[in-house]
Structures are given as C-alpha cells and as structure tokens.
Amino acid sequence: CQNLSVSFWNSYWMLPSDVCGMNCFWEAAFRYDYMKTHPSEEMHLAVVACGERLEETVTMLRSAIIFSIKPLHFHIFSEDQLHESFKDILDEFPYEGRVNYTLYPITFPSESAAEWKKLFKPCASQRLFLPLILKNVDSLLYVDTDILFLRPVDDIWSFLRKFNSTQIAAMAPEHEEPRIGWYNRFARHPYYGVTGINSGVMLMNMTRIRRKYFKNDMTPVRLQWGEILMPLLKKYKLNITWGDQDLLNIMFYHNPESLYVFPCQWNYRPDHCIYGSNCKAAEEEGIFILHGNRGVYHDDKQPTFRAVYEAIKNYSFGDDLVHSLLQPLEQELQKTTHAYCGRVYKVFIKQLTQSIRDLYARRSKGR
C-alpha cells in the first residue's frame, strides 16, 4: 500500500479504499478478520509509575488503546498516592470489556527494598521483579512511562510467536551507530552485542523466564531469575550507571541465545535523530513505538517528540483521528524543522498514518 498523505483526507466519510486502492483496503480487512477468527488471551502490558509520571503514563495507555485490536490488560505499578488518580481516569475510558487494569503497590524483596528502590530512578527496578510478582501471567510487554504506540500493540505482541526455543525476551539495541554508543565507549561491565540493549520496551515470555537457569560470572552453577538479581547487584553496583538496564545487559551478555532483538523503529529515541538519522528501518517504514526518554516530552529540546506527545494527550476518544489528531500533528511537526529530529519529521507520522488507515478499514469491514 502506498503511504497515505494527510492532504488526501478531505472528507470525514472517505473510506480507505478511496485513497489507497482496494488492495490496501482488503489487506487491512483480512488482518482484522484474522484477529477475529484467531482469538487469544488478552495482551498484558505493564508500566511502573512513580513521582510526577501520572499524566505521562495515562498518555501512554491512551496510545495503546487507540489502535489495538485484541483486548488489553494493564498492570500498573505505582506509589499508593497515585492509585486513586489512576482509577478515576481509567474508569472513564470508554472501552469497557476491551480494556482491563490492575493497580499494584511498589514492592521489592523486604531484605533489600531500600537498595533496589534507590537504584537509578525511583521504582525503575520494579520491572526486574515482574516475572516473580505476576506469577499467573504467561507473557508481558513492559514499557516505560514515556512510550507512545503509533501502531497496534498487537503487532509487537506478535513477536512472541517469532521466538525460537531458547528466547525468553525481546528488546531493541541501545544504539544503531557504534560511534555514538554509550555502552561500547563507557561501560565498565559486560553488555549485550555491539552497543548494548535498551530496556524501555521489553517483551517477555514470563513462563520461560521463570523456568530458565542463567549462566553468569559469579558461580559455575546456573541461577534462576529470582536467585541471580541480588548477586548481580552486589557485584556490579559500583560499576553500573543505568541501573536495572545495565543488569539486564549483563544477564543477556552471558545468555545471548535468550534474547530476540527487534529493529529500532520499535523503540525510537532522540538518539536516533539528534546525531543525524540513524534508524534506517524508521526511515523506510516509519516509527512504530516512540520513546521520549530524557524528558523530551516536557521541555523544548526536542519539539518533534513533544508535538507527538501533546497530540495524543489532547486527543479525545471517539473523535475523528484524521482531523483531530493527524492533521493538527502534521502542522505542528512542520514547525519543528529547525531541530535535528524535525528535519526527518515525516518518519514521525508515516506509521501513524498507516495505523489510522488500517483502523478505518477495520471499522468499515465491521459495519
């Protein structure tokens, strides 16, 4: 299917087939039919929110809801004082039966809770304990609060079917270009691959994680997930900068066969454009998941990232996605061409446009 230009959407009632041809329409309709006739359990998505992360987390959840096909179950780990606010907001979401959520307190092993909580950012290390806490969840997509989905969660969830018999998790590389890589230039500990991995988007087969015995550099005996975390922290705590992400890098350095690596457009960060465009997959297909780390959604350093965040935050469920989201966003992005990432602003709406087109095709097919 050809890419859809916003300018083509000059009528609310225009069907996808009118602008991208019958092949595009039936391709999207077939995908919708396949999802309906191949039901599976709901998709599980986890996030850890502490401090001033309520709005950012809700915006992430909204982006997950907009395009996804199968039901979603959100597992939200947050400080107790945020629970009521989350409940008030999520209970107003107009997708009863399609979206469920569970709120959890922040919990670490009692004997080392203080040490885990102060590692890197407050509560960030909670993600390491998800396989041990969510014992009845088979598979899980963990994301940071500063994630925005520009295509259905179903599509990254489908990577679970691509795991081979040894793979237990999937993440994206920390960098595409080694010359600007952090791990390969500065790390004082082992890390995965050439440039390390980024844990902001982490797809996990939790059943496999709980069953696996991990090779390590502390003992010739392989250790399970719950046994290896504290020894790793004790050995490397003076040498790690990025907290739990560093520990994951160390683990997968020793167990590389256990990791599935997905392309950079599934975890697109400012580093992919501020030093020149270096995520080729995004240039070709667009950004699938936007990761606004370094606080770029909330300052003026990267206005391209902030424009996408503000557009999704301000979108009202049920409004026309073209006129209420896509067109205003493109207008804002055109104002950011003075910034490094703004020079490639079209990659920020390329997949979003496709996702909207697919959504209209599904709705039309469902009539």
For residue 346, give both structure tokens.
Answer: 């079209």
Q: And the tokens for 335?
A: 């104002």
- CA 246: distance to chain centroid? 18
Per-residue confidence (pLDDT) for residue 28, from 0 to 100: 40
Do β-strands 259-261 and 169-173 pair in parallel, antiparallel, or remain unpaired? parallel
Neighbouring C-beta atoms of residue 361, cutoff 10 Å: 24
Q: Where in the chain is the domain with CATH 3.90.550.10?
A: 43-261
Tell me, what's the pLDDT at 66?
96
Distance CA 251, CA 245 (A): 10
How far apart are alpha carbons 207 and 135 in whole angstroms?
8
- What fold characterizes domain 43-261? Spore Coat Polysaccharide Biosynthesis Protein SpsA; Chain A (3.90.550)
At 152 the pLDDT is 97
**CA gap 141, 150 in Å, rounded:** 15
Residue 167 near residue 252, CB atoms below 8 Å = no
- Position 120 scores a pLDDT of 62
Q: What is the pLDDT of residue 113?
A: 76
Chunked mean pLDDT (size 10), the chain, 367 residues: 36 33 39 43 94 96 96 96 96 89 90 74 87 97 98 98 98 92 93 96 98 96 95 92 92 98 97 94 97 95 97 96 97 96 96 96 80
pLDDT at 367: 59
